[in-house]
Amino acid sequence: MKLSRRAFTGGAALAGAGLVAGFPHIVRAQSLIPVKFSLDWAFQGPQAVYLYALEKGFYRDEGLDVKVDRGFGSGDVPVKVATGAYDIGIADLSPTIRLKLENPTSDLITPFVITEATQLAAMTTKRSGITTPKQLEGRKVAAPETDAGRQLFPAFAKAAGVDASKISWITVTPQLRETMLAQGQADAISGFMTSGVFGLRAAGVAPGDIISFKYADAGVRLYSTSVIVRRSYAQANPRVVTGMIKAIARAQVAAFKDLDGAIASLAKADPLTDRALEKERLAMNYEFVRTANVLKEGLSPVTEAGMQEMIDTMKAAFNVTTPLKASDVYDPTWLPDRSLLKFT
């Protein structure tokens, strides 16, 4: 049975066999709790970790029957989780904070930050002639509307001294973003470096011709990929939320030690995977996951001050005054013992 590029499930049984599609050695347990889980993006290197967790039975070990769907941008995930289309998602945290600033009654939270350091960037090529962020003014920047880099561009623009009103945005599908830049139909793109840089390389742009303006280098401090869930769901399903965190943390450590195995899981979900390129992409992602704080304290080394700084940065960038506290966004109630979050 061929696996869909859209979904990769831990609960789809082969007819008459009771076996999971793609992994016949995994037997479906009737007692498992079903979980609808959305990734932040398409099946690429960083997303391999979550497919690896599925193949290795990490979710099952926590009593969970997880259906993993590809995502369509970090701005899309909180909307789908908020409406109940998904129980849990992973996404860059910024769009969730923005949603809460615009909708104060939203009970979306993160109980677990996976990637402490943001890899958001504006990316261009030498052919554009752009060598500084200021030179993005008057240019065409391509990105999906739900792209976290596009949604947070005002924060980057303010920090980098760019007049955001002088940016001409081109709304494109995720599949066309890098192609538009590679073909000269756009002057720059926004997004995660692991998506943009390697997407440009896949589109034929030489690595040495890619220029990246990292939001972090401009002074924008943002926590990044996080587990997104409704507080009400977490309160009603603590076993599920804690189990998902344990499985994800376990997978992050295990996949780092077995990059080839993680990419093999990815290739089972998408047979068109360029294994060498996606392995490089996954390795780059770990540069943002395995920070000094994480190596010292374990995953999700979030502080109240750091979270409040991120919230205040976003409020200033979007010119909003809505009160929002760190505890309204980050609630570590469902974290397992921190010994299970060590990145050893």
* pLDDT tens profile 233-276: 999 999 999 999 999 999 999 999 999 999 999 999 999 999 99
**pLDDT at residue number 187:** 98
Question: Do residues 81 and 89 make contact, with C-beta atoms less than 8 angstroms apart?
Answer: yes
Structural domains in the chain plus CATH codes: 7-117+222-341 (3.40.190.10), 120-218 (3.40.190.10)
Read off the tokens for 100. Answer: 């809460």
Question: Do residues 326 and 100 make contact, with C-beta atoms less than 8 angstroms apart?
Answer: no
* Phi, psi for 321 (deg, rounded to 5): -120, 10
**pLDDT at residue number 175:** 87
CA atoms within 13 A on the CB side of 144: 18
C-alpha distances in angstroms, 194 versus 16, 199, 266?
40, 8, 15
Which residues, 6 or more positions from 133, have their beta carbon under 8 angstroms from its beta carbon? Answer: 122, 156, 157, 160, 161, 162, 213, 218
- Parts of the chain with a pLDDT under 50: 1-6, 8-29
Q: Report the sign of the C-alpha dihedral through residues 136, 139, 142, 144, in that order.
A: positive
**pLDDT at residue number 47:** 97
Which residues, 6 or more positions from 90, have their beta carbon under 8 angstroms from its beta carbon? Answer: 38, 39, 40, 50, 71, 77, 114, 225, 226, 227, 228, 248
C-alpha distances in angstroms, 217 versus 53, 120, 122, 135, 337?
32, 10, 11, 16, 33
Angle (CA) 200-47-273 rounded to 5° is 55
